[in-house]
């Protein structure tokens, strides 16, 4: 158990819908990352937050948005869903947000299926 | 643009033998490299890392080798055990960067058979 929790574990929805994925980081971790893993792909970085502030954006679509709340949990909002959005979405957390200095701990992921 | 590449999607090895997983990168700014292991229905877990100031790092049965001139790293598992069967991801970033994001390869499915 990494200490990072993600809900829900599975989500099945229809095209055009909107969903919210939730992540609670490990206690004490200030940085949260979201990654997307599509079929046969590596983990693609979406967005990073550090202590409530957006730190970096990766290949995140405009239909997607995220935030980190004062209690440090984070939510990833996906709207106008398309079939191609079906993927595993992982949240990771680390104590700090600096590269190479802090281990990232991953949650178990949310599997999103868009029908 | 895939900056970290794992060209072998799968590897099958007999128990007790050596498993060698390979990874290549294209970004010369990367100076910190990690291997993550992932079981089905779980998130990736950190396995071992190496900084570019080293060319080798060992942790028990796991050794990572880094060849900076070739922009290549490899993970050796000796001896391989059935419990090592998992997907292994290579990842990289730039140490000290304010951006803590990791760049991942697509993963290699390792199967260790008895």
pLDDT in tens, B52-69: 999 999 999 999 999 999
| pLDDT > 90 fraction of chain B, expressed in percent and rounded | 84
CB within 8 Å: A45 and B95: no
Q: What pLDDT digit, counting tens, does each position of A68-92 carry? A: 999 999 999 999 999 999 999 999 9
Nearest to A104 among B2, B102, B106 (CB): B102
Q: Is pLDDT at A96 greater than 80 in this prediction?
A: no
Among A48, A55, A100, the residue with its CB nearest the CB of B94 is A100
Residue A2 binned pLDDT confidence (cut-offs 50, 70, 90): confident
Spatial distance between the Cα atoms of A89 and A81, rounded to a whole number of angstroms: 14
Q: Of A2, A99, A104, which has the smallest distance from its Cβ to B99's Cβ?
A: A99
Question: What's the pLDDT score for residue B68?
Answer: 95
With a cut of 80, say whether residue A102 has pLDDT above it. no
A and B: number of Cβ contacts within 8 A: 86
The pLDDT of residue A16 is above 80: yes
Given a cut of 70, is residue B98 above it in pLDDT?
A: no
| Residues B9 and B21 sit within 8 Å (Cβ to Cβ) | no
Q: Are A103 and B46 in contact (CB under 8 A)?
A: yes
Please, what is the average pLDDT of chain A? 92
Q: What is the mean pLDDT of chain B?
A: 94
Q: Note the pLDDT of residue A1.
A: 83
Residues of B with CB below 8 A from A55's CB?
98-100
Distance from CA of B37 to the nearest CA of A (A): 11
- Three-class SS state of A59: coil
């Amino acid at each position: 158990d990494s200490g990072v929790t993600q809900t829900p574990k599975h989500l099945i929805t229809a095209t055009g819908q909107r969903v919210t994925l939730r992540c609670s980081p490990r206690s004490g971790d200030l940085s949260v990352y979201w990654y997307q893993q599509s079929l046969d792909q590596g983990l693609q970085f979406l967005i990073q937050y550090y202590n409530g502030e957006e730190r970096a954006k990766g290949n995140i679509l405009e239909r997607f948005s995220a935030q980190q709340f004062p209690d440090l949990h984070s939510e990833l909002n996906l709207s106008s869903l398309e079939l191609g959005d079906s993927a595993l979405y992982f949240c990771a957390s680390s104590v700090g947000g600096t590269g190479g200095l802090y281990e990232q701990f991953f949650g178990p992921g949310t599997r999103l299926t868009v029908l | 643009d895939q900056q970290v590449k794992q060209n072998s999607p799968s590897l099958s090895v007999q128990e007790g033998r050596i498993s060698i997983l390979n990874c290549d990168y294209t970004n010369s700014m990367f100076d910190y490299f990690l291997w993550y292991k992932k079981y089905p229905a779980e998130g990736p877990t950190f396995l071992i890392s190496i900084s570019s100031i080293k060319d080798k790092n060992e942790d028990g049965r796991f050794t990572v080798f880094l060849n900076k001139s070739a922009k290549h790293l490899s993970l050796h598992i000796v001896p391989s055990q059935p419990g090592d069967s998992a997907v292994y991801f290579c990842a990289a970033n730039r140490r000290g960067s304010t951006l803590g994001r990791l760049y991942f390869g697509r993963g290699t499915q390792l199967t260790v058979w008895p």
